[in-house]
Amino acid sequence: MEWLALIFSILALALSIWTFRRMGGLAEMKTRVDALSSLGLTEMRKQGDSLSSLGESVRGKAADALDHLGKKVRGEEKAEEKINGEESVKKEERER
């Protein structure tokens, strides 16, 4: 039985080598890989540049929004201090 499995594996190996050579071998595969990698690299660079510019704009917008929110919170705190200050003055006047 082992001999039969060995013969089948050798035949399968020979068939795969024959098919590989018929399809173009290493030279064809190398040209296809080079073509795909050069196309892929340029596309990836373009996408990377667009993503970096998008990231910068999002970061700027987030910074502006947080700055605006901080000013608004500080403004509300100042308004509350004024209201609380006026109430304390009124209480002091009532107590006198």
- pLDDT tens figures, 57-82: 888 888 888 888 888 888 765 555 55
Type of residue numbered 48: G
Any domain includes 7: no
In this prediction, residue 82 carries a pLDDT of 58
Any domain includes 55: yes
Any domain includes 12: no
Any domain includes 61: yes
Any domain includes 15: no
Any domain includes 90: yes
Indicate the pTM of the whole model.
Answer: 0.35
Note down the domain range covering 58.
Answer: 26-95
Domains contained in the chain, number: 1
Any domain includes 14: no
> Confidence class of residue 11 from pLDDT cuts 50, 70 and 90?
very high
- From residue 90, alpha-carbon distances to 10, 58, 78, 80, 82 in Å are 102, 48, 18, 15, 12
- pLDDT tens figures, 32-58: 777 777 766 677 777 777 777 877 888
DSSP letter for 23, please: T
